[in-house]
Amino acid sequence: QKEVEQNSGPLSVPEGAIASLNCTYSDRGSQSFFWYRQYSGKSPELIMSIYSNGDKEDGRFTAQLNKASQYVSLLIRDSQPSDSATYLCAVAFLVDKIIFGKGTRLHILP
């Protein structure tokens, strides 16, 4: 059974600080990794994708992938109240399927 694990939170972070969201996955053959943001009552929207080991930066967001440790993370710098949402980690396994984690609720404290 392929799994994607996230801490459900809530993770509370002061405004302006760095928010760190973590995700582990079970299958070593996983190829593609995604972070989605979901506001309450809305659908998930893609914010980052990462395919190779290391860091990938996009504005205030940095995705980090460590395939040896089966670990992917998302860092949000200079956190804003508008970053308050649930963040879903998604992992694409070899056999054409994406598994979503249950999400981490992030709360940015003004």
Q: Which residues bind other proteins (CB under 8 A)?
A: 31-32, 34, 42-46, 49, 88, 90, 92-93, 96-98, 100-103
Q: Give the separation between CA 45 and CA 57, rounded to whole angstroms.
A: 17
Q: Which is nearer to other proteins, 42 or 77 (CB)?
A: 42
Q: What's the min distance (Å) between Cβ of 14 and other proteins?
A: 27
Distances (CA, A) of 76 to 12, 51, 64, 80: 13, 19, 11, 9
- Minimum distance between the CB of residue 32 and other proteins, rounded to whole angstroms? 4
Is 84 or 103 the residue whose CB approaches other proteins more closely? 103
Strand locations in 26-70, DSSP E? Answer: 32-38, 45-50, 54-58, 61-66
Least separation in angstroms between residue 31's CB and other proteins is 5
Judged by CB, which is closer to other proteins: 16, or 29? 29
Can you tell me the distance from the alpha carbon of 99 to that of 92, in angstroms, rounded to the nearest whole number? Answer: 6
